[in-house]
A and B are shown apart, each in its own frame.
Chain A
């Protein structure tokens, strides 16, 4: 086993374990920190896959901005302690069953479709990361220019929406 394979398995185990931690932790702050660890693992996977720029964006945007926003809201609302008690007692086993079916379906599709295909063979050589960055930037500003511009409008709409939703009306008690 070479080094990257060992690294992959360690990271995969960490990613699955932190996702499990997110599912079962009763404290929302712990859940958020588990998710940060999970996102960092995924960022290292991006590095292994030869996408360093995406990995950096993952760390700054997801683990940095989005999760800090989550932690802000958790602490602002004081909602870190979660009450116990289920309203629908049959919901949890039903959900677990549905998840097992989903996993079995995706696994079946994966192995049926890709068992003999070329996907199991090794990919090409790792490119120079600067080349991949340059290639991506040129794609972004030629073929995908319209989605890029639409994205900027989307961010503006999200910003205005967030402000309008949390704004208090005049005279409304705090």
Chain B
């Protein structure tokens, strides 16, 4: 049987890589994918804890996180399409219209 700590370490590594992706990539779509990576890392920790303590609340929360992620992706991709229409680029450095 695999100890809980292994899952938590893997979850921490994946979360960090997602955060790194948000910080270093300039493409809005890749930033979005990195956010999905972070959500998945959190889900993995949820399920690992649910397994450890034999409660199902953790699995339920994974459900809710998945629903929120689906909603977030729908709205976020719509925003990206709208931005691409006006700026013809999805580089986040180009979105500086408010800068003085």
DSSP class of B's interface residues: helix, strand, loop or mixed? helix
Taking CB atoms, residues of chain B closer than 8 Å to A35 are 33, 36-37
Known interface pairs A49-B48, A51-B47. Does A95 touch B24 (Cβ–Cβ under 8 Å)? yes
Taking CB atoms, residues of chain B closer than 8 Å to A119 are 3-5, 52
Is the Cβ of B5 less than 8 Å from the Cβ of A110? yes
- Scan residues 20-40 of chain B and give those whose CB is less than 8 A from a CB of chain A: 20-21, 23-27, 29-30, 32-34, 36-37, 40
- Closest Cβ–Cβ distance, residue A39 to chain B (whole Å): 6
Taking CB atoms, residues of chain A closer than 8 Å to B13 are 16, 103
Chain B, residue nearest A92 (CB) = B24
Taking CB atoms, residues of chain B closer than 8 Å to A76 are 81
Is the Cβ of A114 less than 8 Å from the Cβ of B5? yes
Is the Cβ of B29 less than 8 Å from the Cβ of A8? no
Is the Cβ of B56 less than 8 Å from the Cβ of A139? yes
Is the Cβ of B74 less than 8 Å from the Cβ of A158? yes
Is the Cβ of B70 less than 8 Å from the Cβ of A107? no
Known interface pairs A38-B40, A70-B73. Does A151 touch B67 (Cβ–Cβ under 8 Å)? yes
Instruction: Provide the bound-state CA to CA distance between A27 and B77, in Å.
Output: 18
Chain A, residue nearest B18 (CB) = A19
Chain A, residue nearest B11 (CB) = A106
Taking CB atoms, residues of chain B closer than 8 Å to A73 are 29, 77, 80-81
Tell yes or no: A83 within 8 A of B by CB: yes
Known interface pairs A45-B7, A51-B51. Does A166 touch B81 (Cβ–Cβ under 8 Å)? yes
Is the Cβ of B63 less than 8 Å from the Cβ of A79? no
Is the Cβ of A123 less than 8 Å from the Cβ of B4? yes
Chain A, residue nearest B68 (CB) = A154
Instruction: Provide the bound-state CA to CA distance between A77 and B81, in Å.
Output: 7
Is the Cβ of B78 less than 8 Å from the Cβ of A166? yes
Known interface pairs A61-B66, A136-B59. Does A103 touch B75 (Cβ–Cβ under 8 Å)? no
Convert B42-66 into 0s and 1s, putting 1 for each residue whose CB lies closer than 8 angstroms to a CB of A: 0110011011101011011011101
Is the Cβ of A4 less than 8 Å from the Cβ of B23? no
Is the Cβ of A140 less than 8 Å from the Cβ of B33? no
Is the Cβ of A15 less than 8 Å from the Cβ of B50? no
Instruction: Provide the bound-state CA to CA distance between A82 and B26, in Å.
Output: 9
Sample of 17 A–B contacts (CB below 8 Å): A5-B2, A22-B33, A31-B33, A35-B33, A51-B59, A69-B74, A70-B29, A73-B81, A79-B27, A82-B26, A95-B23, A98-B19, A119-B4, A122-B3, A139-B60, A151-B68, A165-B78
Listed from nearest, the 4 A-B pairs whose CB atoms lie closest are A158-B71, A95-B23, A165-B78, A162-B78
